[in-house]
Amino acid sequence: MQLGGNAIALYANFFRVGHNASEFVLEFCQSYQEGGEERDSTHIVARIVLTPAGASELHALLGDSLDQLLGQRALSTQNNRY
C-alpha cells in the first residue's frame, strides 16, 4: 500500500460509534479543556462510514494489533526482571 502525497495524520483521543442495519459510523474526535475554563471542548476530526463486513475486519485488525502490543509489553516486562 502506498500513501498519497496528500495523506495526513490526525490525532484523536475521543471516539464515538453509531450503527444501523447497513452501516457503522466511527467518529474520531479531539477532546480538550478550552483556555483553562472548566468547559470541555470536543471536535470531530474525521468520520468514517463502514459496512458491517468492513467494521468486522477493522475489529479483527485492531484486536490482532493490540494482542501483539500487549504480548510485546509482557515479554519486555519479563525480560527486565532480575
- pLDDT at site 36: 66
- pLDDT at site 82: 53
Span 42-53, average pLDDT: 96
Q: Cα(45)–Cα(76) distance, rounded to whole angstroms? A: 34
- pLDDT at site 80: 66
- Per the CB < 8 A criterion, the answer to whether 22 and 40 are in contact is no
Q: Cα(22)–Cα(53) distance, rounded to whole angstroms? A: 10
| 50 Cβ contact list (under 8 Å, min separation 6) | 23, 24, 25, 26, 58
Q: Tell me which of 2-11, 14-23, 39-48, 57-66 is least confident.
A: 2-11
Question: What are the tens digits of pLDDT across the range 16-46?
Answer: 999 999 999 999 999 987 766 666 788 999 9
Q: With a threshold of 0.85, does the pTM exceed it?
A: no
